[in-house]
């Protein structure tokens, strides 16, 4: 199976879906002539032309709304935000237009569109460029929210998102774009939206995570295995709708859970996961669930402070040991 | 750009003008009953009446083809009626009933009808303007010759969404007609207290966009100006910003005084003399094309239509509780939902 980067997996998904359906187009800042701020759209302008790979002005609210309008009348837009930090300017279109149109119109106007771009912290970009937005977006009925953590899932989820007749939010990771993995060169690599994946099987504890933190969780599993501790790594892959069965079946097996995420603690995705666990697995738990997340501060610039703020493997290992009463 | 004159050419025949009078009078009688129903608690939430502004939507929509698109604000009853949505379905929606045009999910502010390409009343000031640009983009993408008509109030021109949307429509040469219904007040804030320029059609100069300003109380004037803009959009794929100067005879919504706080009774009375229905009625009567008796007959007929809508709405059931969870998401891929909706009609 070909080994390609997460970036190329996204590029493959876009190219294949644009070849498959001429209603699919890509719109955003620097997606065409510049070939993508992160080169996700490399070569697409040359293959599909300027009507289908559209450079916009810096006007997030505006072009998000253009996507909504185009979707209302039968196109299938993929709207790229250079980062989700900039998408805050467009949140009215995502929340008030895209998410609610089907409901407000009594089922008449669905929104077959994708909003995508990198989410979460990279390296030393400080407060305004280092934020994970999934808990905000997952709060909204009418949206689907996916967070691929591997190249395979990036391709499969983006293709599923483009074919979905609902508005799908895709949160990628700048730090993931260069990561590599097995990805079939296959038109029908489709990862179902709403299905988690057990990325690693173990017996002592479960880490429930998503997005960029999947990589961290896999490192944690490798390191703990050397100490004789094996863990389940449950990759949610989709935050809304959340695969509750995948969470509960793992926790029922291991009886101990750590919830790992990039975002902040209060009202975070992990808070919802813990709620499902307490509701469904109350009698299965051998320890309180522990959460690992970003420190409750805007992201600082200095290397040491940034490291202290971010969740990482060491913090997650400590959490696993805590739920196992080893420390 | 020159101010537009009314289209009094012989081509605009008497039948057309009678139709426009009928449409405006239907809207008026419909909304008078809306106010009554609101007072009786049959209509809830926000309810923004169009009374006084009927010539804007009626004139504009009268030049469209059935396959053109319309998108508008929360002050949408009049335009929905002008586009041919039925008084029954609209009243049932306002009453929150299952036979409402959006099955009781939207109410006054969110009327949608896929059958007539009515892309909704939208509730966030400015929010729907970029959507109109997107509809224009889709028309151009497909190589079609439809037009997207976008109505908005004058307060919209101070939002970022307006600027972003107009810039892209001009930059990409999209077939959109942006119509500002300038009723002079955003809730209680006068235009002069909100906008640094008062001839707001000149905002289009920033985008090198064709623009114009017309009297919004004369339906034939509106019609002529919109016809020109629609032709430009259809044949040259160019957007237009048109300011239509009008006045609302009622409050912003149902909870504010008609006059006395932000505008005077005298000002209101001055504008009432230019009631768009009276303007057209007078024209027709002066030409000998309409008698008092004709008008009275028409009025009685339309009052009966509205009474029928009221009765229909009252008899329509409330939505079943199961409907609460319907239409949050569709469970289809690759356009199967849209195809099913179209097929169902």
Q: Which of B151, B178, B9 is closest to B83 using CA atoms?
A: B151
pLDDT in the model for residue A327: 75
How far apart CA B4 and CA B25 sit, in angstroms, is: 24
Per-residue pLDDT at A4 exceeds 70: yes
The pLDDT of residue B5: 52
Please give the mean pLDDT across all residues of chain A.
Answer: 97
Among candidate residues A60, A80, A172, A262, the one labeled active-site is A60
pLDDT band with cut points at 50, 70 and 90 for residue B7: low
Nearest alpha-carbon partner for B254 in B40, B98, B25: B40
For chain A, residues classed under CATH 3.40.50.920 are 197-323
Q: Which residues of A touch B123 (CB under 8 A)?
A: 96
Rounded average pLDDT over A210-228: 98
Read off the pLDDT of residues B9-56 as tens digits, 9 standing for 90 and up: 544 689 999 999 999 999 999 999 999 999 999 999 999 999 999 999
**pLDDT single digits (tens) A256-315:** 999 999 999 999 999 999 999 999 999 999 999 999 999 999 999 999 999 999 999 999
CB < 8 Å from A in window 279-308 of B: none
DSSP string of B196-245?
S-S-GGGGGGGGT--EEEEETT-HHHHHHHHHHHHHHHHHH---EEEEEE
According to CATH, the superfamily of the domain at B14-319 is Thiamin diphosphate (ThDP)-binding fold, Pyr/PP domains (3.40.50.970)
Chains A, B: CB contacts within 8 A come to: 166
Q: Which fold has domain A3-182?
A: Rossmann fold (3.40.50)
Classified as helix, coil or strand, B319 is coil
Identify the CA nearest to A281 among candidates A232, A246, A242.
A246
Name the CATH architecture for the domain at A197-323. 3-Layer(aba) Sandwich (3.40)
Pairing verdict, β A168-172 and A180-182 = unpaired
The answer to whether B66 and B86 are in contact (CB under 8 A) is no
A210 given a catalytic annotation? no
Q: Taking CB atoms and an 8 Å cutoff, what residues of chain A touch B139?
A: 73
What is the predicted pLDDT for the residue at B1? Answer: 43
Kindly list the residues from chain B whose CB atom is less than 8 angstroms away from the CB atom of residue A65: 127-131, 133-134, 161, 164-165
Confidence of residue B3 (pLDDT cuts 50, 70, 90): very low
> What single string gives the DSSP state of each residue in B285-312?
HHTTS--HHHHHHHHHHHHHHHHHHHHH
What's the CA angle centered on B131, arms B126 and B133, to 5 degrees?
A: 105
Catalytic-residue membership of A261: no
Phi-psi region of B143 (alpha: psi -120 to 50; beta: other; left: phi over 0): left
DSSP state for residue A95 in the 8-state scheme: I
Partner A contacted by B99 (CB < 8 A): no
H helix or E strand, kind and range, residue B117: none
**Please, which pLDDT band fits residue B253 given cuts at 50, 70 and 90?**
confident
Return the bridge partners of B153, or none: B181
pLDDT of B2 over the 50 cut: no
Q: Which of B203, B147, B202, B212 is nearest to B174 (CA)?
A: B147
Residue (of B46, B66, B93) closest to A108 by Cα position: B93
In the numeric block, the tokens 């810039």 are attached to: B167
Between CA A30 and CA A38, with CA A32 as vertex, the angle to 5 degrees is 50
Residues B197-226 have a mean pLDDT of 97
* Sign of CA pseudo-dihedral A68, A71, A75, A76: positive
- What is the pTM assigned to this prediction? 0.95
Determine what percent of chain A is predicted with pLDDT higher than 90.
98
Out of B110, B160, B335, the one facing A104 most closely (by C-beta) is B110
CB contact under 8 A, B168 and A72: no
Q: How confident is the model at residue B333 (pLDDT cuts 50, 70, 90)?
A: confident
ipTM for the predicted complex: 0.96
- For chain B, domain boundaries: 14-319
- Closest-CA residue of chain A to B335: A165
Q: Is the pLDDT of residue B274 over 50?
A: yes
A138 band by pLDDT with thresholds 50, 70 and 90: very high
In Å, what is the CA distance from B244 to each residue of A242, B184, B211, B219?
49, 11, 11, 10
CB-CB contact of B56 with B181 (8 Å): yes
CB A153 within 8 A of CB A183: no
Beta strand ranges found along chain A (DSSP E):
3-5, 24-28, 53-55, 76-80, 114-118, 144-146, 168-172, 180-182, 197-200, 205-209, 231-235, 238-240, 257-260, 290-292
Joined tokens for residue B325: 């969870």
CATH 3.40.50.970 in chain A, residue ranges: 3-182
Cβ within 8 Å, pair B130-A62: yes
| Cβ atoms within 10 Å of A69's Cβ, excluding its own | 32
Closest partner CB to B106 (pick from A64, A77, A104)? A104
**pLDDT value of residue B11:** 46
Smallest CA–CA distance, residue B332 to chain A, in Å, is 6
Say if strands A257-260 and B189-190 run parallel, antiparallel, or are unpaired: unpaired
Mean pLDDT, range A77-83, rounded to an integer: 97
Provide the shortest C-alpha distance from residue B171 to chain A (in Å).
Answer: 10
């Amino acid at each position: 199976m070909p080994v390609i980067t997460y970036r190329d997996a996204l590029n493959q998904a876009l190219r294949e879906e644009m070849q498959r359906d001429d209603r699919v187009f890509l719109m955003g800042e620097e997606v065409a002539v510049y070939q993508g701020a992160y080169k996700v759209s490399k070569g697409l302008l040359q293959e599909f032309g300027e009507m289908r790979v559209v450079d916009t002005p810096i006007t997030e609210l505006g072009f998000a709304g253009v996507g909504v309008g185009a979707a209302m009348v039968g196109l299938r837009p993929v709207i790229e935000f250079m980062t989700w930090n900039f998408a805050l300017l467009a949140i009215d279109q995502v929340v008030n237009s895209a998410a609610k149109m089907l409901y407000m119109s009594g089922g008449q106007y669905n929104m077959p569109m994708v909003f995508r771009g990198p989410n979460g912290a990279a390296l030393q970009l400080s407060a305004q460029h280092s934020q994970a937005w999934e808990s905000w977006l997952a709060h909204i009925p009418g949206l689907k929210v996916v967070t691929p953590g591997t190249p395979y899932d990036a391709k499969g989820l983006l293709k599923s998102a483009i074919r979905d007749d609902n508005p799908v939010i895709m949160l990628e990771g700048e730090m993931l774009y260069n990561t590599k993995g097995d990805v079939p060169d296959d038109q029908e690599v489709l990862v179902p939206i709403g299905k988690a994946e057990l990325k690693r099987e173990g017996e002592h504890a479960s880490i429930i995570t998503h997005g960029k933190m999947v990589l961290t969780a896999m490192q944690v599993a490798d390191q703990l295995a050397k100490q004789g501790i094996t863990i389940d790594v449950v990759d949610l892959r989709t935050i809304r709708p959340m695969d509750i069965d995948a969470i509960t079946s793992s926790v029922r097996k291991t009886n101990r859970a750590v919830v790992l995420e990039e975002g902040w603690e209060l009202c975070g995705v992990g808070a919802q996961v813990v709620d499902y666990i307490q509701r469904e697995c109350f009698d299965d738990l051998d320890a309180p669930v522990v959460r690992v997340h970003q420190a409750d501060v805007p992201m600082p610039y200095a290397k040491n402070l940034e490291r202290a703020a971010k969740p990482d493997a060491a913090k997650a290992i400590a959490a696993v040991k805590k739920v196992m009463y080893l420390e | 750009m020159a101010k537009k004159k009314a289209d009094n050419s012989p081509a605009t025949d008497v039948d057309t003008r009678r139709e426009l009078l009928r449409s405006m009078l239907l809207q008026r009688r419909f909304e008078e009953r809306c106010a009554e129903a609101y007072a009786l608690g049959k209509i809830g939430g926000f309810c923004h009446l169009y009374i006084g502004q009927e010539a804007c939507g009626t004139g504009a929509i009268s030049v469209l083809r059935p396959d053109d698109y319309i998108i508008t604000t929360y002050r949408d009853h009049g335009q929905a009626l002008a586009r041919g949505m039925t008084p029954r379905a609209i009243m049932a929606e306002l009453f929150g009933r299952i036979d409402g045009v959006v099955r009781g999910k939207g109410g006054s502010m969110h009327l949608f009808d896929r059958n007539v390409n009515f892309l909704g009343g939208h509730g966030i000031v400015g929010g729907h303007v970029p959507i109109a640009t997107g509809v224009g983009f889709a028309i151009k993408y497909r190589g079609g010759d439809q037009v997207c008509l976008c109505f908005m109030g004058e307060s919209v021109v101070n939002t970022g969404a307006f600027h972003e949307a107009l810039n892209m429509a001009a930059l990409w040469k999209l077939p959109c007609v942006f119509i500002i219904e300038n009723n002079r007040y955003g809730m209680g804030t006068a235009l002069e207290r909100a906008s640094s320029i008062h001839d707001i059609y000149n905002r289009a100069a920033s985008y090198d966009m064709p623009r114009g300003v017309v009297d919004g109380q004369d339906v034939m004037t509106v019609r002529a100006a919109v016809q020109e803009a629609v032709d430009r959009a259809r044949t040259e794929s160019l957007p237009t910003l048109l300011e239509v100067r009008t006045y609302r005879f009622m409050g912003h919504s149902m909870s504010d005084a008609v006059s006395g706080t932000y505008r005077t009774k005298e000002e209101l009375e001055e504008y009432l003399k230019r009631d768009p229905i009276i303007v057209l009625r007078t024209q027709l009567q002066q030409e000998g094309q309409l008698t008092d008796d004709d008008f009275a007959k028409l009025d009685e007929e339309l009052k009966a239509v509205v009474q029928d809508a009221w009765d229909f709405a009252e008899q329509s059931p409330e939505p079943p509780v199961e409907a609460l969870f319907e239409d949050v998401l569709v469970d289809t891929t690759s356009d199967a939902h849209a195809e099913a909706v179209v097929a169902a009609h």
